[in-house]
Amino acid sequence: MGVHKHVHIVSDDGQVDECDVEISKGQADQVTWFAFGDAGATIEFSSDDGSPFQESVFYVPATGSLSSGPASPTAVVDKYYKYTVQGQEGENDPGVIIR
């Protein structure tokens, strides 16, 4: 039922290997974030646009991964949702595009 789009956190300052990832709302795609090394990270959708998922904050465990779940019913198709990846040494602001 839906594809998991993998986003790997590649450094302690929140850099990711996929700056913008597209998911299909109709196909129930999800984003799966993978932690860098033995550190965890926080994913937060805190802009005025909110989160395209049921939750707005995700805690990726050290050496682990976490999935977003499918887009919420209120997620807007063809919209860009910016989020922040907070690592131990800094942060980065990639995005999710709902299709």
CB 22 within 8 A of CB 68: no
pLDDT of residue 85 exceeding 80: yes
pLDDT at 49: 86
Mean pLDDT of 71-93: 94
From start to end of 1-99, where are the E strands? Answer: 4-8, 20-23, 30-34, 41-44, 57-60, 65-67, 80-82, 84-86, 91-92, 95-98
pLDDT digits (tens, 9 = 90+) for 22-60: 999 999 999 999 998 888 999 999 888 899 999 999 999
pLDDT at 59: 97
Any idea which architecture 4-98 has in CATH?
Sandwich (2.60)
pLDDT of residue 1 exceeding 80: no
pLDDT at 47: 84
Domains in the chain: boundaries: 4-98
